[in-house]
Amino acid sequence: MMTGDEYRQSLNDGRRVFLEGDLIADMANHPVFKVPVDAAAKLYDRGFDPTPGAVRDTMRTMKTAEDLRHHASGADDHDMLLGVTSASMMTLLTAADRIESKLPENAARIRAWVKDAQARDIRIVQCITDAKGDRSKRPSQQEDPDAYVRVVERRADGVVIRGAKLHITAASLAHELMTIPTKAMKAGEDDYSIACMVPVNSPGVKIVDVDYAPRHKDQRRFPISSRKHTPDSFVIFDNVFVPNERVFLDGHPEMAATFAHSLGLWERLGGLAGMANTFDALVGFAQLIAEANGLEKIPHIKEKISGMMINATLVRACLDAAIDQCNFTADGQAVPHELYTNAGKYYGAANYPVMVRDLHDISGGSVQTAPSISDLENPEVGHLIRKYMGTKQSVDGDYRTKLFHAIYDYTGGAGGTWAAIANLQSGGGLYAQRIVTAGRYDVEQAKRLALKTAHIEEPA
């Protein structure tokens, strides 16, 4: 296994990472990247087992509802990088099963690679979303043929790919890029039917990051995002060579969607679990700030909070139902119930802005206007801010100011916006979740129920 320090050093591998126009020389010590690198390193140290050949728990398969529930609880403080790595491993093994009959050699390559990755104890991200160009056209119809990642050259020992993958959270912090087609391909789109593993430091890979870390001199007004932030990567494959043993699919359009579908089975639970926890935290903040304002017994405040509780409970009901009603794959992996997962994600994503609105409404204007910690420390005004931000003996101005900062940072500004957009877009926007829900809902059964209710005989 790798230790945290080894992880830090592993990032000095020649990777080309850019932020705000600059090439980053030293990820581990860069003022912005240090925070997420340290967070990842900490998880490398936790659960480190020096035994040679040991495989990290998080790289193993979940087999029971209880495994899923443990995973969803966030008890292990899994960060995104760890979760994504875990889901990638599962995805690859499932995809191997699914392509085995037609492409046994490719399946073998996958399994070999997974074993090696477990041994190296690396971090992987999933590169799915292409640049896409004109979204009204298919990959093969684009003005720029590189709008979707494609094979531009085939050599004896491998392929050369070109294109870009977008919105890849934490790609610059990982070791390898699981690059798979974003959707089903059609006949003639063979070059776009490419799935492969690409080391982050491969020649031609260039990563442009955007990061929501606060840039203020004093970051204490941002108690959450200053401590936890993750870059989003724009990953460019500028004629990148991929050796054959890392090419898992090349040129079978009818199997292009296999990888994304395999991924779908696992990736959603994490999103839904995160949403359930977020909704509970929003209820918690609402209750805390109502109490800090002396408003917790006012009927319209209670009405808003009970509405938030109902939303939080609906999301959690979907999570619990998705776990308790989980399915099992042929090889014994527990996969959450897709209908409940997607309906829950849809509901959570659609209602998250309303939850935030209600929290802000309960909080009042100080979410925006509470002075900074530096102001609290200023000798001329600090004690006065404290005096006027306080509510009563039991709610001092210091605590209340910090509570406002936390609410601002959790739900607004750069950090809150990141969370809002991630909630909405992860898994593909509201429409995607609607489509999946519609696809999984048993509408034939509903029709039979309706006909029975109507006392109309079922058509033959």
Binding to its own copies (CB under 8 A): which residues in 199-218? 206, 208, 210, 212, 214-218
Determine which residue in the list 31, 50, 53, 136 makes contact with its own copies, applying CB under 8 A: 136
By CB under 8 A, residue 367 contacts its own copies: yes
Nearer to its own copies, 94 or 372 (CB): 372
> Per CB under 8 A, which of residues 324..363 are in contact with its own copies?
324-325, 339-340, 343-344, 346-347, 350, 352-354, 356-357, 360-361
By CB under 8 A, residue 137 contacts its own copies: yes
273, 74 contact by CB (below 8 A): yes
Q: Which helix or strand (DSSP H or E) is residue 105 part of?
A: helix 104-120
* CA 11 and chain centroid, separation: 21
By CB under 8 A, residue 152 contacts its own copies: no
Taking the C-alpha atoms of residue 62 and residue 86, their distance in angstroms, rounded to an integer, is 10
Taking the C-alpha atoms of residue 399 and residue 291, their distance in angstroms, rounded to an integer, is 12
Q: How near is the Cβ of 91 to its own copies at its closest, in Å?
A: 20
By CB under 8 A, residue 413 contacts its own copies: yes
Nearer to its own copies, 251 or 412 (CB): 412
Q: How near is the Cβ of 441 to its own copies at its closest, in Å?
A: 4
- Give just the sign of the alpha carbon dihedral 449, 452, 453, 456: positive
Find the part of the chain contacting its own copies (CB under 8 A) among 34-42, 109-117, 143-151, 193-201: 143-151
Find the part of the chain contacting its own copies (CB under 8 A) among 52-60, 184-192, 240-248, 409-417: 409-417
Angle of helix 258-293 versus helix 80-99 axis, rounded to 10? 150
By CB under 8 A, residue 66 contacts its own copies: no
433, 427 contact by CB (below 8 A): yes
What's phi and psi for 292, nearest 5 deg?
Answer: -65, -25
Residues binding its own copies: what is the number (CB under 8 A)? 152
Taking the C-alpha atoms of residue 337 and residue 173, their distance in angstroms, rounded to an integer, is 31
Q: Is 188 exposed, middle or buried (0-12, 13-18, 19+ CB in 10 A)?
A: exposed
By CB under 8 A, residue 368 contacts its own copies: yes
Nearer to its own copies, 63 or 206 (CB): 206
> Per CB under 8 A, which of residues 234..293 are in contact with its own copies?
234, 236, 238, 277, 280-285, 287-288, 293
408, 373 contact by CB (below 8 A): no
268, 427 contact by CB (below 8 A): yes
Nearer to its own copies, 41 or 236 (CB): 236
By CB under 8 A, residue 184 contacts its own copies: no
Taking the C-alpha atoms of residue 271 and residue 342, their distance in angstroms, rounded to an integer, is 10
Determine which residue in the list 11, 80, 164, 177 makes contact with its own copies, applying CB under 8 A: 164
Taking the C-alpha atoms of residue 359 and residue 216, their distance in angstroms, rounded to an integer, is 25
What's phi and psi for 455, nearest 5 deg?
Answer: 55, 35
Find the part of the chain contacting its own copies (CB under 8 A) among 41-49, 56-64, 89-97, 452-460: 452-460
By CB under 8 A, residue 140 contacts its own copies: no
- Give just the sign of the alpha carbon dihedral 182, 210, 228, 4: positive
Q: Is 219 exposed, middle or buried (0-12, 13-18, 19+ CB in 10 A)?
A: middle
> Per CB under 8 A, which of residues 71..130 are in contact with its own copies?
129
By CB under 8 A, residue 429 contacts its own copies: yes
Determine which residue in the list 108, 112, 119, 298 makes contact with its own copies, applying CB under 8 A: 298
Q: How near is the Cβ of 252 to its own copies at its closest, in Å?
A: 25
End-to-end, the C-alpha distance of the chain in Å comes to 62
Q: How near is the Cβ of 370 to its own copies at its closest, in Å?
A: 7
Find the part of the chain contacting its own copies (CB under 8 A) among 39-47, 97-105, 120-128, 309-317: 309-317
Find the part of the chain contacting its own copies (CB under 8 A) among 20-28, 94-102, 118-126, 253-261: 20-28
Taking the C-alpha atoms of residue 305 and residue 283, their distance in angstroms, rounded to an integer, is 7
Nearer to its own copies, 189 or 358 (CB): 358
Taking the C-alpha atoms of residue 266 and residue 289, their distance in angstroms, rounded to an integer, is 36
Nearer to its own copies, 284 or 332 (CB): 284
